Amino acid sequence: MIELSVSRLNKRFGGNHVLKDVSFNVNGAEMIGLIGPNGAGKTTLTNVLDGALKPNSGTVYLNGKRIDQLPSFEVAKSGLGRTFQVTRSFRRMTVLENLYVPALALGKSRIGIEVKEQALEVLGFLTMDHLRNEYARALSGGQQKLLELGRLLMLDPDIIILDEPFAGVHPKLMEVIYEYIRRVNEQGTAIIIISHQMDSIFALCKRLLVLNYGDLIADDTPEAVKNDSVVIEAYLGTTEDRSRTGQQDAAGEAQ
């Protein structure tokens, strides 16, 4: 069974204490929402979990193996992958070539039939077969998000962290991405999803983590979190205020 164990993580940037003793566990193919105000530390937590940043203290274990001191490619090999708040794709490669990159990064010296078949399978899953020979730069923002999800799936991960998968995506494609996230989860991958889009988070997740300027202030069901006065004070109250003035998600969309 998939098991992620995050224990007392601290991360500081100079005097800015961005993660303060953050601890939580993921057990099995859960779908967990990670929410909190802009600057709360959500992306930083992702960067620490995927090995892009080293914590100042604390530990991360994935399936019993310590991963907090490993470089990102080793973390990916161990089964944890992530997408980026600002999508990253190899713009001058084709869609298919983009999917080959993770295999190369894992040390394969050439792209064998196995990788090719897996790439085609992933493209089929994402219903992007017809785009296989397009350059990544020709894709829409939403399609690039899908391609990024596809690159993650090539690693056959145990757990993936999606940093704002809906931000800046056309509403129609948002529904498509939403469905893929659900299906990936159903197939046995644990997912942590960061989003300011509360409707999607509440619809997708059975458990929410709330980060507030470095403190994990809640780890509970959406219902409990919705009624938690500390969370309302720190975050949800302000989201509602924003939606009343028609500015909901402006922060998320801008990034």
Ligand X SMILES: Nc1ncnc2c1ncn2[C@@H]1O[C@H](COP(=O)(O)OP(=O)(O)OP(=O)(O)O)[C@@H](O)[C@H]1O
Contacts of 143 (CB under 8 A, 6+ apart): 128, 131, 173
Taking the least distance from each CB to Mg ion, the nearer of 87 and 118 is 87
Which among 39-47, 146-154, 171-179, 225-233 is the span making contact with Mg ion, rule CB under 5 A?
Answer: 39-47
Residues in 75-134 at the binding interface with ligand X, rule: CB under 6 A: 85
> Looking at 78-86, 95-103, 149-157, 170-178, which segment touches Mg ion (CB under 5 A)?
78-86
CA distances from 44 to 3, 84, 254 (A): 21, 11, 18
- Classify 15 in phi/psi space as left (phi over 0), alpha (psi -120 to 50) or beta: alpha
Q: State the Cα–Cα distance between residues 124 and 56, nearest whole angstrom.
A: 42
Query: Which residues are CB-neighbours of 8 under 8 A, at least 6 positions away?
Result: 21, 22, 23, 57, 58, 59
| Residue number, 47 or 118, with CB nearest to Mg ion | 47
Compare residues 2 and 191 and give the one whose CB is closer to Mg ion: 191
81-110 positions binding Mg ion, by CB under 5 A? 85
Give the rounded distance of the alpha carbon of 7 from its chain centre. Answer: 19
Q: With binding defined as CB under 6 A, does residue 44 bind ligand X?
A: yes
- Contact with ligand X (CB under 6 A) among 2, 33, 42, 210: 42
Q: Judged by CB under 6 A, does residue 144 bind ligand X?
A: no
Q: How far apart (Å, rounded) are the C-alpha atoms in residues 200 and 218?
A: 19
* Residue 41 touching ligand X (CB under 6 A): yes
Q: Which residues are near ligand X by CB under 6 A?
A: 13, 16, 18, 36, 38-44, 85, 255
